[in-house]
Structures are given as structure tokens and as C-alpha cells.
Amino acid sequence: MIERTWSSLDGRDLFSVSVSGQAEGTVEDETDRAIATAMAEIEAAGFSPDHIVRSRLFARDRQARSRASDRRRVLLVGTRRASSSSFCDAGRLAPDARMSIDLIAMRPRGGDAKIVREYEPAIAPPMFVTLDGLVFLSGITDTTPGLPAQITAIRRSIGASLETAGTDLRTARLVSVFLAKEEDPRHALALIDEAFRRHPMPAHAEHRRGLLGTAEADRDRGHGRHGLTGDP
């Protein structure tokens, strides 16, 4: 199954493709095929690997997530490297799939090249990527007991990453939050409103099994907007 979405942001074309795997062979085989299909869709839509700014991976369970994530790390390197996140969410997958991959590409308005900023020391995901004035943060999570404490910690980490990127939360426009299914989204949104009260923004919440809380948002540092994500 393939889903394609087009959108626009201040004159920049964004293209998102979601590809569901098929459980034939190993999880690694399935991931290889899904990413190859997604890359073909990206190129058919007129984008290059350097335009990929985000990848999201969904898996049936923790083992599949770990194996698919490891394979993604091998395949999405060089100009394909982008901010990343991963989730366990069997309900999102087709019955015969153990994983699915989302790739998001953005066509810059000028000739700017994508810049990848790694953590120090480097870990599996980069800290963020920048392209045409936009910053896309990789997944941020926290294991502090209790959702309020986790949101506070994630908020602090987001602020630190944005500071590294040369921006901050003052121009936030949207936050998307991924929650464990055990959490009440209305309660979570209220906590987020409180954590981000100095920089209010629209919020969108989704449930994900085994996930505590994540965030996505748009930022502006004077010449472009910025995206951020927190993941498990």
C-alpha cells in the first residue's frame, strides 16, 4: 500500500510518501523493499535524495522496530540522511506487514543544500537537518516517570536543540503529539498547553502503543519555518 500527500509551505513543495511493507522474507528484506519503493516514489515526484528531510518508521512490535530501524540506518545515509523517528503501532499496519516507512521531501526555493547536524557523540538519528531555512528535529523522548515530567523534559530538550539550530520556540505554529494509548489525549494536550504557554500553538494528538509522548512543530527564525519531532 502506498499513500502520497502533497502540500506547500511558503512556496516550498513538500511531498510525503507512506509505504507499507509485506511480510515476505526477513524484516530486513521487507524494509529494503519498502524503502526502495519509497525512494522510487520520491524520485518520480521530482525530488532528489538531498530533499529528504524526515523519515518515520512504524513497526508491529519492538523486535520488528529494532530490526527495521537498524536497516533504515544502513539505507538512508549520505544525502538520504534525515531527521528520524520510529514507533510500535500494529494497528497502523496492513495485516501482512511488519513495518511501514514514511519519507518526507521538500523542494527548496533556492539552491541551498541540506545540512545534517549530528549529536555529539553521534547516535542513530541526527539531532536535526536544515534545508532552505527550515529545521527538522529528530525524535525526542524521555523516560522520567509520569507524563507531566516527560513533557517538561521533552520541552527542555526541544529548546536546547532549537538553540543549537539558532532558533527558539517563539514562532511555534503547530505541535503534533504521539501518545501511548493508555494516555488521555485531552489531558496530554492540557499539559502541553501549560508547558508551551509562553509560545502557544495549535496542537494535534495521536495515540501510539507503548509511546509516552512526542512533538512536531513549525518554527521561524526570521527567514523560514522549522519543524521538530519527539519520538520514543
Mean per-residue pLDDT, 39-44? 98
Residue 34: how many CB atoms within 10 A of its CB?
27
Peptide bond into 145 cis (omega under 30): no
Mean per-residue pLDDT, 14-23? 96
Confidence bin at 59 (pLDDT 50/70/90): very high
Radius of gyration of the chain (CA): 17
Q: What is the pLDDT of residues 119-162, one digit of tens each?
A: 999 999 999 999 998 889 888 888 888 889 998 998 888 889 88
Q: What is the dotted CATH code of the domain comprising 133-232?
A: 3.30.1330.40
Look up residue 201 and give its three cell numbers: 500553538
Q: Is there a common fold for 1-111 and 133-232?
A: yes
Of 78-82, 87-91, 131-135, 189-193, the least confident: 189-193
Given a contact cutoff of 8 angstroms between Cβ atoms, the answer to whether 66 and 56 are in contact is no
In our burial notation (b when 16+ CB lie closer than 10 A, e otherwise), range 67-85 reads bbbebbeebbeeebbbbbb
Largest CA distance in the chain: 50
Question: Which CATH number among 3.30.1330.40, 3.40.640.10, 1.10.10.10, 3.40.220.10 corresponds to the domain 1-111?
Answer: 3.30.1330.40
d(Cα 108, Cα 51) in Å, to the nearest integer?
A: 8
- 0.95 cut: is pTM over it? no
Where do the domains of the chain lie?
A: 1-111, 133-232
Please report, as a single letter, which amino acid is at residue 152: T
